[in-house]
Amino acid sequence: MIKYFKIVSLFVVLHLHAESIIIDGDLSEPEWEKAEVIDRFYEVSPYTLKETDPSERTKALIFSNKDGIYVGFKNFQNKGSMLSRKSMRDEMTSISEKNSINIDFDGDGSKAYIIAVSLANSLFDAIKVQSGGFKTDWDGDWVAKAKEYENYWISEFYLPWDMVLMNQPEGDKRKIRYSALRYIAKDQSWLSSAGTMAMRAAYFEELDILEIDNYTKSRFDFFPYVSSNINSVTKIEDNKVGAEFFYNTGKGQQANLAVNPDFGQAESDDVVINFSAQETFYSEKRAFFTENQSLFNISNYERYSVINTRRIGSAPGYNCSSEENESNCNESKKNYSDIDFALRLTQKKNDNEVGFFIAQEKDEAYSIGRDYFALRARTKVNDKTIGYMVTQVIDDLNNTTSTVNVFDYIQVKSDKLKLYTDLLVSEKENQSGLGFRTQFVYLPTKFTKTSGSILYFEDDFKLNDFGYLQRNDWVHIGVGADVKKIDFDDSSSIKQLESGIDINYDADTNGNSNPIRIDQRNEITFKNTSAFKFDFGFRSSGKNTTITRKDEIYSFVKVKNRISITADYEAINYKFWTYDWRVSFEDGDKYSTWDSNGYKKKFFKIAGSIYPNDFLKINTQFRVRKENEWLNWIDGNNLATYDLQQKTISIDLNWFKDNKHEIRLKSQFVAVEADNPRSLISDFNGYLKQGTADVKPFTKGVASFQLRYKYEIAPLSNLYIVYSRGGNDYDDEIDRKTSAIFRNPWENPSDEIFSIKFRLRY
């Protein structure tokens, strides 16, 4: 096996040297002498727009040839101030010198790729789409190398023409929009040649324009994989062989096919204990769904997403009560579905894009797999982008078909004003539902922003078969404003002050108003790189229309006013460590209809990072949340208040050996204690009153532990060895100590999995 790794690595090295430029952190090749030169940079984080200090000047070079686009940076800096700490891929928060190139390859403002490398040769890539989303789950096929010199350091990028799906313009020239960026670690400051970065609302309009030589290049990639998973608790062993195929014609068409894919995750999700009526949204981490998927992205923050690919391969449905052998059915239940295949076809030509997506789950012993379909089209007419998508899920087990039609519209009125609109219609089991979103973003100046949105989702609107919807039966109106101040005296310790306010009104479609929320935010960035945030919040009295899970008679509960204050501090990065903390307090009025003392909440967090060298980082965090009169739904019209305490301990470790070996430890342990229960019910008008139900205190513990070794055989070819252990423990009978709540789910896990996976690229 080691001999095989060496052969593959040698092939990759020979491939890189076969290009016209050697990617080695050296810009001495003659081709660089004819490159476009960029040497004016502006500070964009903090957003001061000040030009670069001459002692830390930056020069970027860009040119293209038949192989792709090349970008080089020469960063002048005192050698003693250079930081080069290794980090995980896509971990942009690491304290290390960085360079980044942001490119909108088609120059049409619909999508840009953010590509970065650190001085420690850690890589980052993400996609920024026109509708506002910023996704780091895409891993592209590109190469970069950084190298340190005496009074400067260099980074070098190679972006092949077949790296992404591009439109093919007529002629031999391509007009791109771009920005070259540099991160200075000691100042925690980002510099940009275009005076913008991806978090800016006017990002696409502020990018610079450059005309480069254009070429076409097709690519076919074959990714076979072998994986084995053994669960020592459930005694289930799962061995798989499959493959993924990626074909880019180089002329605007791309096809992606996965056959018997392994959609298991090599990285665990964060632990979220959710007692609310809203489902928790988890981002996608599986490779097939992150490649060339942005065309199908129609979403609005975490309020909704028309396609949530985490649905595919989720737990199968079962009707064990109708089976002859009900006990065998119950014992055969799985928490995931295997996949027969998934296929995605996309094409981009001029201002038009179309795409087709299909995935089919395997039939199980007591379940039938679901089928997923999506068809997407989008076109740009002057300053308007108009799109349409239809999705469908066929569930033969439950004999249902769910269809969603979406019309989306974006208009860039100017570099100061953008308008967004989505119209959604769902149909399932002969019921139709309507959804609607309209939003504006207005930038009066470079330092101010105003935004507003209206959302409307009918009670019969259903998106969650394929997509994600935070809640239906929902009316939302929100407005917000932000302002930055940077003109502080040289003697001041403050570098930037940012303030904002958000006002949100929510209700159900019957006009039952939820509490009005007003949030006022402030953040001070100091010249020594530390930061302090303090926020104020107000929640008016109103109706909670989700807690009773849409009970036909008791559809809401009236809740009281609340006010809150939160303070958050992030310290400077010392030589080997740093820390941050947060405290929050919230108070609510007393209820007069039962024996209430008023809602109170306290939250404390302390976190720290230790980095004894550039290749090891340890993160720890401890959080405590305490709530008096925490209101929780039991069933029907039965509710209860508790004195709740939740403690969370997190320990993460990242260790690197050169650029090939990586060990990651990720763990979270949560202990919930709910004491002093009091039974409550709601009357017809939503007023809470003392109930008579027997409500017991309870404790809940959750443990999540993952140790992962990753070996990079070649770019996008990896070996994973993963050990995962997790458990969930609930008890409403015994008054347990906190230590036992932490310990029990670890000692009695629901899953203990050892996995090994090869994924190779040919």
* pLDDT per residue as tens digits for the range 51-84: 877 777 999 999 999 999 999 999 999 988 999 9
What pLDDT was estimated at residue 267? 66
CB 82 within 8 A of CB 118: no
Per-residue model confidence as pLDDT tens digits over 633-645? 999 999 999 999 9
- Model confidence band, residue 537 (pLDDT cutoffs 50, 70, 90): very high
User: How is residue 505 written in tokens?
Assistant: 């009104």
User: How is residue 608 written in tokens?
Assistant: 């720290």
**How far are the Cα atoms of 122, 213, 495, 533, 618 from residue 579, in angstroms, in the given order?**
23, 48, 20, 15, 12
- Model confidence band, residue 10 (pLDDT cutoffs 50, 70, 90): very low
For residue 321, pLDDT over 70 is answered with yes
Report d(CA 229, CA 239) in Å as an integer. Answer: 6
**How far are the Cα atoms of 5, 25, 68, 636 from residue 37, in angstroms, in the given order?**
39, 17, 18, 68
> Comparing C-alpha atoms, which of 242, 338, 315 is closest to residue 757?
242
What pLDDT was estimated at residue 23? 92
Q: 3-state class of 407 per DSSP? A: strand
> Comparing C-alpha atoms, which of 112, 118, 117, 116 is closest to residue 134?
112
**How far are the Cα atoms of 107, 240, 499, 654 from residue 662, in angstroms, in the given order?**
37, 24, 40, 7
Per-residue model confidence as pLDDT tens digits over 687-727? 999 999 999 999 999 999 999 999 998 888 889 999 999 99
Query: What b/e sequence results for 180-208 when a residue is b if at least 16 CB atoms lie within 10 Å of its CB, and e otherwise?
Result: bbbbbbbbbbbbbbbbbbbebbbbbbbbb
What pLDDT was estimated at residue 94? 78
What pLDDT was estimated at residue 14? 39
Per-residue model confidence as pLDDT tens digits over 227-257? 998 989 888 888 889 998 989 998 889 999 9
- Residue 303: CB atoms within 10 A of its CB come to 17
For residue 3, pLDDT over 50 is answered with no
- Model confidence band, residue 497 (pLDDT cutoffs 50, 70, 90): very high
Q: How far is CA 397 from the centre of its chain?
A: 32
For residue 262, pLDDT over 90 is answered with no
For residue 113, pLDDT over 90 is answered with yes
Kindly state the average pLDDT of the residues 604-608: 97
- Residue 131: CB atoms within 10 A of its CB come to 20
Report d(CA 629, CA 641) in Å as an integer. Answer: 5
User: How is residue 496 written in tokens?
Assistant: 């930037």
Per-residue model confidence as pLDDT tens digits over 375-417? 999 999 988 999 999 999 999 999 999 999 999 999 999 889 9
Report d(CA 190, CA 124) in Å as an integer. Answer: 15
Report d(CA 25, CA 510) in Å as an integer. Answer: 63
Share of the chain above pLDDT 90, in %: 68
CB 216 within 8 A of CB 168: yes
**How far are the Cα atoms of 362, 503, 554 from residue 557, in angstroms, in the given order?**
43, 22, 8
What pLDDT was estimated at residue 5? 42
Kindly tell me the sign of the dihedral angle through the C-alpha atoms of 589, 591, 597, 600: negative
Check residues 649 and 760 and name the one with the higher pLDDT. 649
Work out the mean pLDDT of the chain and round it to a whole number: 90
CB 404 within 8 A of CB 439: no
pTM (two decimals): 0.89
What's the first-to-final CA gap in the chain, in angstroms? 17
